[in-house]
């Protein structure tokens, strides 16, 4: 007999060789119907996998990440089978599950068309209806190569596997694919499917390789879930920051300037300035000092930091300056360390909190550039904390509270926290410092009454970290904030401080970003609010619409009064009908429009229309000024 420990901590005994599915059935038939895979000692397995030893078992449904991954990975194989049936000469590449759905890459003579996708989708539905059993089997390397003799991309993958690797395949009807799994027991378990996009993709992401054809898709256990998802996608397209940025005149890109390099237009720059001004003010309130550092540094600096050894492919090529290599900075941390090392520090100086809106440059392949969300030049809202061991736990709590305050201020109140660490054999630095840092991160999250998902193997080699993913208006997750310990660079740059006993000690160094990059955060904000920024962030906070030319002077007087209170205001003096002007204000998503006619001039009032509250009616000018200034001051949403 073997003993199975379930997710709730309960234990059950089973005959050796009992499958995960049979264990699920022993608990309840409902759970067995909903189960898609099983997590055995942290590794996701097929439901048909027999259990031969004591283990911890978590049964995965579609609500779990592992369950979705299994469901979508199976659907990618169904799509590949459909494509093979319809286009027998196609060559298979890879077909993984991704964050939202799946894709498969194919080598085919001509790109797929939208009509092709419709036909493939119908063939997929036939395969689902056939309810084909999905069977896993193992082959030797020789047998595997023989089976895949007509699939060059699979041959390449097999040849790259370690000598002792288990080479597994999955078969469903007339289709067999090289795959590590896991998969569903049968194709019939997939219920609702939709192919959403076709794109080109280089084999293995290398632009020197052949361009393949990639098809993206999504699937769900219920048709209603698919319908809801497609509505969300439609709404997401309306909110696409690239489209809104162009329509609202916020930013642009220019091929002559260079791909991935943002040109901020006046209106976009206003929003960015509001974000950055608030950022600086709040950092000063929270005990940070602001620093500025260069955009380039000598090669020796990047050798010491390790960037040239581990990160060179993401750095721009060297510039020859007086016979020495200089590099555009990909990160700010070596410069902050240089400031730290400019003099000897005592424990009395600590903690030090240094923040910078530092522009960095990273080479990203052209195929992954995506508006403001993936660029080559961006400004990090960076900070580095240097503290003594006894100060470190309090600093972590302080920075976590600050982080959540900043996110809440911009309207992000739903988020998920992830704690990532690493087993001791895979990290650098002192074991006791790693343990203390990891515990401090956990305790900070718990102390704030929050929960976090723990990824025991997902941390960087140089230190444990917390990542905070915010949820936007469409419930999409975005990675923005991070709190990251670094035990690597303090060693490389020999950071020390003088402890109370006179000895030289190593400080804790903490990387920290609250918003991530300003560009990415701006793009997320733009999509979250669908371009309708709250008043305090809006590029134009009020627009005054005089009805006749005789009202222009009064309109300009009101505008001057608002500008004295730092309100961004425009006066529309064009010879257009008032209805046309009102529609333009609505299209430009301006929070307030002030209509001026004879009545308003005579009474010293303005007729106020709010984007949020509709027609408010007439009010004295000073009353409106007080209203909008208060909304800006309090960051009303």
Residues belonging to the active site? 333, 362, 380, 382, 384, 465, 511
Cα 61 off chain centre by:
24
Asked if 618 contacts 608 with a C-beta cutoff of 8 angstroms, the reply is yes
CA distance 429 to 446: 25
**φ, ψ of residue 610 in degrees (nearest 5):** -105, 140
* Residue 243: count of CB within 10 angstroms of its CB: 14
**Which token pair is 327?**
């590099």
> C-alpha distances in angstroms, 197 versus 190, 273, 432?
19, 36, 49
Asked if 127 contacts 117 with a C-beta cutoff of 8 angstroms, the reply is no
DSSP 367: G
Peptide bond into 182 cis (omega under 30): yes
Residue in this structure with the two tokens 């530092």, named with its chain if needed? 358
**Which token pair is 623?**
């009353």
First to last CA, the chain: 60
β-bridge pairing 11-14 and 2-6: antiparallel
DSSP 463: B
Count how many Cα atoms sit within 13 Å of the Cα of residue 313 in the half-sphere of its side chain. 3
Burial of 501 (0-12, 13-18, 19+ CB in 10 A): exposed
β-bridge pairing 43-45 and 37-40: antiparallel
CA distance 353 to 231: 45
* Helix, strand, coil in percent for the chain, rounding step 5: 40, 30, 35
Asked if 376 contacts 364 with a C-beta cutoff of 8 angstroms, the reply is yes
**Which token pair is 30?**
């409902």
CA distance 464 to 329: 24
Residues 6+ apart with CB under 8 A from 292: 356, 358
**φ, ψ of residue 70 in degrees (nearest 5):** -65, -45
Cα 33 off chain centre by:
33
């Amino acid at each position: 007999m073997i003993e199975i420990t379930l997710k709730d901590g309960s234990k059950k005994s089973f005959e050796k060789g009992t499958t995960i599915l049979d264990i699920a059935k022993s608990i309840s038939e409902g759970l067995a119907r909903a189960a898609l895979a099983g997590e055995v000692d942290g590794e996701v397995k097929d439901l048909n996998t027999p259990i031969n030893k004591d283990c911890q078992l978590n049964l995965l449904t579609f609500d779990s990440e592992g369950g979705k991954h299994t469901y979508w990975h199976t659907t990618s194989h169904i799509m590949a089978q459909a494509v093979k049936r319809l286009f027998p000469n196609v060559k298979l590449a890879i077909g993984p599950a991704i964050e939202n759905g799946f894709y498969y890459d194919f080598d085919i003579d001509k790109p797929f068309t939208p009509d092709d996708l419709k036909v493939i989708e119908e063939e997929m539905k036939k395969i689902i209806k056939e309810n084909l059993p999905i069977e896993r089997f193992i082959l030797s390397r020789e047998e595997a190569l023989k089976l895949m003799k007509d699939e060059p991309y699979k041959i390449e993958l097999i040849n790259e596997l370690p000598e002792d690797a288990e080479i597994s395949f999955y078969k469903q009807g007339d289709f067999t694919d090289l795959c590590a799994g896991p998969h569903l027991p049968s194709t019939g378990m997939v219920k609702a499917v939709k192919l959403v996009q076709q794109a080109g993709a280089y084999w293995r992401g290398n632009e020197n390789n052949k361009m393949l054809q990639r098809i993206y898709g999504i699937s769900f256990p219920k048709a209603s879930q698919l319908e809801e998802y497609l509505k969300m996608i439609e709404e997401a397209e309306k909110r696409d920051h690239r489209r809104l940025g162009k329509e609202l005149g916020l930013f642009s890109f220019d091929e002559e300037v260079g791909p991935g390099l943002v040109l901020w237009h006046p209106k976009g720059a206003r929003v960015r300035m509001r974000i950055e001004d608030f950022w600086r003010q709040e950092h000063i309130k929270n005990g940070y000092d602001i620093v500025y550092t260069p955009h380039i540094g000598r090669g020796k600096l990047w050798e010491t930091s390790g960037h040239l050894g581990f990160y060179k492919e993401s750095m721009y090529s060297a510039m020859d300056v007086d016979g020495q290599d200089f590099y555009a900075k990909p990160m700010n941390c070596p410069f902050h360390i240089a400031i730290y090392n400019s003099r000897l520090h005592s424990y009395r100086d600590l903690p030090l909190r240094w923040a910078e809106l530092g522009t960095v440059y990273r080479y990203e392949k052209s195929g992954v550039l995506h508006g403001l969300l993936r660029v080559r030049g961006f400004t990090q809202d960076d900070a580095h904390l240097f503290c003594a061991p006894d100060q470190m736990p309090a600093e972590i709590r302080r920075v976590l509270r600050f982080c959540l305050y900043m996110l809440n201020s911009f309207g992000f109140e739903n988020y998920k926290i992830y704690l990532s660490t690493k087993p001791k054999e895979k990290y650098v630095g002192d074991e006791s410092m790693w343990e203390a840092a990891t515990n401090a991160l956990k305790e900070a999250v718990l102390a704030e009454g929050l929960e976090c998902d723990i990824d025991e193997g997902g941390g960087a080699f140089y230190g444990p970290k917390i990542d905070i993913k915010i949820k936007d208006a469409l419930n999409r997750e975005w990675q923005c904030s991070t709190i990251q310990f670094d035990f690597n660079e303090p060693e490389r740059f020999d950071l020390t401080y003088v402890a109370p006993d006179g000895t030289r000690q190593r400080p804790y160094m903490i990387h920290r970003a609250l918003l991530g990059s300003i560009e990415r955060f701006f793009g997320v904000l733009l999509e979250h609010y669908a371009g309708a920024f709250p008043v305090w962030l809006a590029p134009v906070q009020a627009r005054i619409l005089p009805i006749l030319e005789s009202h222009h002077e009064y309109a300009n007087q009101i505008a001057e009064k608002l500008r004295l209170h730092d309100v961004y205001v425009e006066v529309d003096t064009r010879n257009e009908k008032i209805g046309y002007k009102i529609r333009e204000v609505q299209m430009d998503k301006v929070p307030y429009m002030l209509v001026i006619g004879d009545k308003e001039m005579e009474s010293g009032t303005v007729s106020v229309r709010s984007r949020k509250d509709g027609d408010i009616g007439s009010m004295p000018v000073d009353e409106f000024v007080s209203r909008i200034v208060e909304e800006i001051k309090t960051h009303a949403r």
